[in-house]
Structure 1
Amino acid sequence: MPLAHLDGIRHLLVCPRCRSALAAEPDGFRCTAPGCPRARPGDGFPLAGRWPVLVDFERSVVDRDAVPARTAGNTERLPAPLRRVLKPPNRVAARTIDLLLRALPGPAPRLLVVGGATVGNGVDAVYRDPRVEVIAFDIATSPVTQFVADAHHIPLPAGCVDAVLVQAVLEHVLDPPLVVAEIHRVLRDGGLVYAETPFLQQVHAGAHDFTRYTASGHRYLFRRFEELAAGAVAGPGTQLLWSLDHTVRALTRSPAAGRATRTLLCWLRALDRLAPPGFAEDDASALYFLGRRREREMTAAEIVRYYRGAQ
């Protein structure tokens, strides 16, 4: 797994408040800018175990006291057959990530994973490619991240990465346009982004679930990117399965009953393959976007013309 060692990327880390360089201290880091509040003794960035916590807590929903206790979940504990039923391989992501990897420039491209506490479904090729240096962060500590950070204020300098992966994350941030602006900022000219975001899915992650996007809304979110590929990750069959799962949960007050329903009716996912692309986008469970960084934004007229659904 080409996950960069923290020592190898330490020179890239900057203050999330003012983006100045950081100085290492025995108990963490502090900003080197004299006027920055994060430069004052005791107001720097602590460690959670071996992970630097590079969060500007005054501007974040991340709780300073909760960070050391947070640990990323591990779905790999489920038996493999049940895991494939509840969370089948994401073939759309795998195909699109292959396109991204083949488009990356140079012998040692750098890829940033936003919200990377777990290796996402269908994107594991990123971690197997010997060329790619992977940098990853989340608001939870994890063996596959180097630091803790808030995606609204990424503690990296402008133009320092060749690609960004943000899978099933943007629904969990308060301000997705700000996060996408940060992704645009840290990408080099012509850098690539792969994003996956829900459209028709029920609430998950409780109080940390905020947003959904139509295909046109998702495209406009990435309006400062040239589209290379986009569409439905999962269509109406998967969307129906989500709805039945959560309907049973609501009627029985039992998440286990909902999961059992999803297992018994897993064949409904096959309906995704029967839906034409326009219908699939209008009724998608989730959407994806692969794009290349640019400066020009889509106009209002362009996003209205962009719609390619069935209506």
Structure 2
Amino acid sequence: MALVDPERVRRLLVCPRCRSTLVDGANGLRCDAPGCPCRTAFPEAGRWPVLVDFEGSILDRENMSTRVGADAVGPAQRLPAPLRRIWKPANRVAARNIELLVRSLPGPAPTLLVVGGATVGNGVAAVYRDPSLQVIAFDIVPSPVTQFIADAHHIPLPTASVDAVLVQAVLEHVLDPGAVVAEIHRVLRDGGLVYAETPFLQQVHAGAHDFTRFTASGHRYLFRRFEELAAGPVAGPGTQLLWSVDHLIRGLTRSALAGRATRGLLCWLRALDQAVPATYAQDDASALYFLGRRREQEMTAQEIIAYYRGAQTSP
């Protein structure tokens, strides 16, 4: 894998509160900046340093999980191949955009940060296999494919320290997506790239840790300090209908298993995505993607209104 050695990453880490350089003491990493409340040692979960400003995070210092999270392939990948293709088809949209992102990165050995990378996301495995990339990944739980634990609202890396950021199916799980995108903008070097995928019309998943959804225009405005290179639906109305049927059956039967089984039987609904024109899909997508380049200029309110590409006419 292209993951950067954990010891090397450890030397890059900064205080999530004041962004000062950390010192490695007998009890782990700590901030030595005068007046910083993080002067006590940060906890560790096994080999993973926990760089979290607990005062402003939903994470709890006393109840931090030390259990290693899902492995690099994820639970769906353990199914037999035919069932895997039915339950979780390959994300060709992500694969295409990741290829474009990697081609657009400067060389040699650009650094790519994976935000929320406890598992290798669908369609993005190429970044972990590419020997030309240096991959740094973190999540709020320990994982074989992460080097540290952190809250994305306060990324413990120096300003302008990475060339690209991958944030797939994460922004719906953070309290303040705008703050997380601002952090992504901060850690990116000038002209750095971001690739994001975020739900639009999907039911709640991850229970209490699911907060937000975005329309295409809302998603674009979230990344308003980025130049758009590509954007659009990851999956369309057919996939969205499949989600709805799954959760309808769950509600009627009080059984998640019954919903999943129905989802498998009606997997053909995904094929309807291909029959829906792009303008309609924009309004009815299950999830959306954005690939963009960092800039300082911000979209205006007038520009985001003019940005709309859906099928509906203005009132």
Contact 1:49–1:68 at 8 Å: present in 2 too? no
1:28 is aligned to: 28
- Mapped partners of 1:176, 1:85: distance in 2: 31
Q: Secondary structure at the match of 1:152?
A: coil
- Mapped partners of 1:305, 1:103: distance in 2: 27
1:251 is aligned to: 252
2:11 is aligned to: 11
Range with bigger deviation, 22-31 or 69-78? 69-78
1:135-155 Cα offsets, whole Å, 9 max, x none, are: 000001000000000000000
Q: Secondary structure at the match of 1:177?
A: helix
- Mapped partners of 1:187, 1:161: distance in 2: 5
Q: Secondary structure at the match of 1:18?
A: coil
1:62 aligns with one of 52, 59, 63:
59
Q: How does 1:202-221 map to 2 (within 5 A)?
A: 202-221=203-222
Q: Secondary structure at the match of 2:135?
A: strand
Contact 1:27–1:47 at 8 Å: present in 2 too? no
Q: Does 1:97 align with 2:94?
A: no
1:279 is aligned to: 280
- Mapped partners of 2:193, 2:134: distance in 1: 15
- Mapped partners of 2:159, 2:83: distance in 1: 42
Contact 2:68–2:144 at 8 Å: present in 1 too? no
- Mapped partners of 2:54, 2:84: distance in 1: 36
1:253-276 Cα offsets, whole Å, 9 max, x none, are: 000000000000000000011111
Contact 2:46–2:66 at 8 Å: present in 1 too? no
Q: How does 1:92-241 map to 2 (within 5 A)?
A: 92-241=93-242
* Aligned-partner residue type, residue 301 of structure 1: Q
Contact 2:138–2:149 at 8 Å: present in 1 too? yes
- Mapped partners of 1:136, 1:240: distance in 2: 33
2:48 aligns with one of 47, 51, 57:
51
* Aligned-partner residue type, residue 13 of structure 1: L
Contact 2:204–2:210 at 8 Å: present in 1 too? yes
- Mapped partners of 2:241, 2:161: distance in 1: 41
1:78 is aligned to: 79
Change (3 A) 1:63 1:137: same
How many residues are treated as equivalent by the alignment? 308
* Aligned-partner residue type, residue 21 of structure 1: T
List 4+ stretches of structure 1 deviating above 4 A: none
Range with bigger deviation, 271-280 or 205-214? 271-280
- Mapped partners of 2:193, 2:63: distance in 1: 33
Please report how far the alpha carbon of residue 172 of structure 1 lies from its aligned counterpart in structure 2 after TM superposition: 0.1
Please report how far the alpha carbon of residue 175 of structure 1 lies from its aligned counterpart in structure 2 after TM superposition: 0.1
* Aligned-partner residue type, residue 56 of structure 1: D
Range with bigger deviation, 181-190 or 10-19? 10-19
* Aligned-partner residue type, residue 134 of structure 2: E
Q: Secondary structure at the match of 2:145?
A: coil
* Aligned-partner residue type, residue 11 of structure 1: R
- Mapped partners of 2:146, 2:27: distance in 1: 19
How many percent of aligned residue pairs carry the same amino acid?
76
1:158-197 Cα offsets, whole Å, 9 max, x none, are: 0000000000000000000000000000000000000000
Contact 2:110–2:133 at 8 Å: present in 1 too? yes
Contact 1:114–1:137 at 8 Å: present in 2 too? yes
TM-score, length-scaled by structure 2: 0.96
**Runs of at least 5 residues in structure 2 that lack an aligned partner in the other structure:** none
Change (3 A) 1:70 1:279: farther
- Mapped partners of 2:256, 2:17: distance in 1: 40
1:304 is aligned to: 305
* Aligned-partner residue type, residue 308 of structure 1: R
Q: Secondary structure at the match of 2:95?
A: helix
Please report how far the alpha carbon of residue 70 of structure 1 lies from its aligned counterpart in structure 2 after TM superposition: 4.0
2:289 is aligned to: 288
- Mapped partners of 1:118, 1:68: distance in 2: 16
- Mapped partners of 1:84, 1:72: distance in 2: 23
Please report how far the alpha carbon of residue 124 of structure 1 lies from its aligned counterpart in structure 2 after TM superposition: 0.4
* Aligned-partner residue type, residue 192 of structure 1: L
